[in-house]
Structure 1
Amino acid sequence: MIKIMKRNIEHIVSEKLNSKIIDLRRIETGLFNDTYFVKANKVVSELKSKPVNTNEFIIRIAPKDDSGFLFYEVNMMDQEPNIHEIVSQKTSIPIPQIYEFDNSRKIIERNYLIMEKMEGIALSQAYFLTQIQRKNIFHQIGQYLQELHNIHASEYGYLGEHRPMEPQKTWWEAFTIMWSKLIDDVFNCGVYSESEAQKYKDLLLSHREYFVARNSVPSSLLHMDIWAQNIMVNEGGMITAIVDWDRALWGDPEIEFTVLDYCGISTPSFWEGYEGQQADNKSSKVRDLYYLLYEHQKYIPINIWRRKNKIKAQSYKRDCVRLFKKLEKIG
């Protein structure tokens, strides 16, 4: 597998950069795509009419088509170029430039991106940071996400080029579709029975009132994968890049806040940077449980299809059942 991947990257570098590889290193923090640092034997001045002037690149290669995907993961790399363009134009968020996206399958049999190499290392590996520096990083994340959430669209859902769903006019309609499709994934991997899947779909419908109250909230651009491995920092405690935007979603920022809680990012310093506070009432707590389940349930099919770990998948199911029981008690 390693030799095959090396040959794939050699083909990309030869065809797209007209160069040879003098240094190739796998970036281990990537869990979905195969990501590599590549140093070419000569400086590339431009790529696809974009100024480059470097011989150092990041190449991200999408998984094989038969890897086993959640409904929104199919071809989700397709939306990254446009998302990067929007974020770079409308915010001060440090984000790598995408020099080229290729889904033609002419060079290799997988989609891939050639990207700018950003300075810094993943926050998950930045053991040298002081407590003060870490607090400052969470403050910066808050500031950046406030900017991101101020980018709005007229529709809700996964609106990118991969189109795993039809755009919707309200957040409730979008989330209902997202929820149903994710439940279908858990059913299709063999962990939910048909009756369980239907029960959990019906449960959301029974709590419609808690969501329609948020229908006036604008559709915001959400990253949906902010965690320590996707935040790059330098030795001075500054964020140098936020990466991996392929899971981006347009919707209610509340769902992003739940993911931030899940990933340990939603700290007091984050909220100071965001200049806001998380809602704390019955309605928001109900929605938070659904958003937590949306995040947690995905690991059931992921463990069945990609990690081949049925025991872990059942453990995630038990966690989810406990959360469902909480929701069943709410009128």
Structure 2
Amino acid sequence: MKYQPIDRAPGAFQQAVPPQAIEEMCRRAFGPGTEVLAAVELGGGMYNSTYRLEFADGRQTVLRVAPEPDRQFRSERALMRNEYATVPYLAPVAHLVPRVLAADFTHQVLGRDHLFQTFLDGLPAPQGLPLHPRPAWRGFYAQLGTVAREIHGVRGPWFGTVAGPGHRTWSEAVLAGLTDTAADLADTGTPFDDVEELIALAGRHRAVLDRITEPRLLHGDLWNINLMIAPDSPAPVITGVLDCDRAHWGDPEADWTIFMAARRPGTERDAFWDTWGPLAADPEAAWRRLLYTARHLAAVRLESVRLADPEQAAATVDDLRALLDRLARGVR
């Protein structure tokens, strides 16, 4: 088997999967006679280890392998199992989502969760979009608005991660997630006092959060890096939606997609709102969005620690402090 891992530092978060383990995973999933010709590690993702596999019968498959359990933050625990539980709920956009061919959570081969998915043709959007003139990007963001609206239209049984545990109210889910993030930051020796302030503010304004009474599906990480586009189209066309491992039930305006779409007003991103629809205009919704932005910044800080990016982690401090000051004034 041709084995092509990405060269990483010994202490990097993502750890290569030995070739012998890949071959054994394939035999368990597809039969003892399965012959793997090549395993090429794919870049782009920052959590799981991902390989494009080529088999002797001509098939191509994607293998994704989760980090070892003891390397996972409590706020990111068992993300692959959450993705596995989420796929059936992505039925409105199923034609864009890779199919799961097999999954193995036994840890008998390597001690790490792994699954196999169909290989999607196309270019990652960060690579494909620059091949098109900027005015054409509006069509891309309008398509993204449609995809997000379809996902957000799915109703759920509780608040919190799709795989559970579920929470009875939205405030309980938000507070549980923030508490885990604060504990993870504490474990890594990263400042988290401002996150504790955020938890206290959210607790004092539970009633504002609990105006959200109907759990909707949130992808959790739906943005350019997790989208594929057609390679030879005269305009950017979305052909794939990847990595729903952070999916949860909650307020659609809390999704990462909404945070990113709103970051650069006056650009081609504005086309997102043409198809997704307008944001809620009442003061309580505006306060919730500030809280959601602060929550995203806390998550970015934690991810920066995992990626050994202290500059990005430090950049969240002033922004989060400014948001805390605005949140403390309450609903206006």
Q: Shared topology, TM-score over 0.5?
A: yes
The 1:300–1:131 alpha-carbon spacing in structure 2 relative to 1, beyond 3 Å, is: closer
Question: Is the counterpart of residue 64 in structure 1 residue 68 in structure 2?
Answer: yes
Give the secondary structure class of the aligned counterpart of 1:106. coil
Residues 1-331 of structure 1 mapped to structure 2, 5 A cutoff:
4-17=17-30, 18-43=33-58, 55-69=59-73, 71-88=74-91, 90-91=92-93, 93-126=95-128, 127-160=130-163, 163=164, 166-192=165-191, 198-212=196-210, 214-216=211-213, 218-234=214-230, 235-236=232-233, 237-256=236-255, 258-261=258-261, 267-274=269-276, 276-304=277-305, 306-330=306-330
The 1:191–1:81 alpha-carbon spacing in structure 2 relative to 1, beyond 3 Å, is: closer
- Higher mean alpha-carbon deviation, 91-100 vs 254-263, is at 254-263
Give the secondary structure class of the aligned counterpart of 2:76. coil
Give the secondary structure class of the aligned counterpart of 2:278. coil
- Higher mean alpha-carbon deviation, 93-102 vs 174-183, is at 174-183
Question: What's the CA shift for 1:294?
Answer: 1.1
Does structure 1 conserve the Cα–Cα contact (< 8 Å) formed by 2:160 and 2:167?
yes
The number of aligned residues is 309
The list of structure 1 runs, each at least 4 consecutive aligned residues, that deviate by more than 6 angstroms after superposition, is 262-266
The 1:283–1:266 alpha-carbon spacing in structure 2 relative to 1, beyond 3 Å, is: farther
The 1:133–1:287 alpha-carbon spacing in structure 2 relative to 1, beyond 3 Å, is: same
Does structure 2 conserve the Cα–Cα contact (< 8 Å) formed by 1:94 and 1:240?
yes
Output one character per residue of 1:137-181: Cα deviation in whole Å (capped at 9) or x when no partner. Answer: 211221122211111023111131xx3xx3222222322222222
Does structure 1 conserve the Cα–Cα contact (< 8 Å) formed by 2:208 and 2:288?
yes
Distance 1:110 1:142 in 2: 35
Output one character per residue of 1:165-223: Cα deviation in whole Å (capped at 9) or x when no partner. Answer: x3222222322222222223223322336x655433222222334323x233x211110
**What TM-score, normalized to structure 1?**
0.83
Question: What's the CA shift for 1:84?
Answer: 1.4
Does structure 2 conserve the Cα–Cα contact (< 8 Å) formed by 1:98 and 1:113?
yes
Distance 1:289 1:243 in 2: 27
Give the secondary structure class of the aligned counterpart of 2:64. strand
Distance 1:255 1:171 in 2: 11
Distance 1:179 1:266 in 2: 32
Does structure 2 conserve the Cα–Cα contact (< 8 Å) formed by 1:186 and 1:297?
no
Does structure 1 conserve the Cα–Cα contact (< 8 Å) formed by 2:160 and 2:250?
yes
Does structure 1 conserve the Cα–Cα contact (< 8 Å) formed by 2:124 and 2:225?
yes
Does structure 1 conserve the Cα–Cα contact (< 8 Å) formed by 2:61 and 2:119?
yes
Residue type of the alignment partner of 1:173: E
Give the secondary structure class of the aligned counterpart of 2:69. coil
Distance 2:227 2:111 in 1: 29
Residue type of the alignment partner of 2:41: R
Residue type of the alignment partner of 2:317: K
Distance 1:312 1:149 in 2: 30
Question: What's the CA shift for 1:247?
Answer: 0.3
The residue aligned with 2:11 is: none
Does structure 2 conserve the Cα–Cα contact (< 8 Å) formed by 1:231 and 1:242?
yes
- When the two chains are superposed, the root-mean-square deviation of aligned CA atoms in Å is 2.6
**Structure 1, gaps ≥5 residues long:** 44-54
Distance 1:191 1:91 in 2: 38
- Higher mean alpha-carbon deviation, 262-271 vs 138-147, is at 262-271
Does structure 2 conserve the Cα–Cα contact (< 8 Å) formed by 1:100 and 1:113?
yes
Output one character per residue of 1:266-322: Cα deviation in whole Å (capped at 9) or x when no partner. Answer: 933212222x10123432222112111111112333333x23344543332333223
Give the secondary structure class of the aligned counterpart of 1:152. coil
Distance 2:263 2:57 in 1: 40
Does structure 1 conserve the Cα–Cα contact (< 8 Å) formed by 2:85 and 2:162?
no
Residue type of the alignment partner of 1:229: I
Does structure 1 conserve the Cα–Cα contact (< 8 Å) formed by 2:24 and 2:109?
yes
Distance 1:310 1:21 in 2: 39
Distance 1:228 1:177 in 2: 28
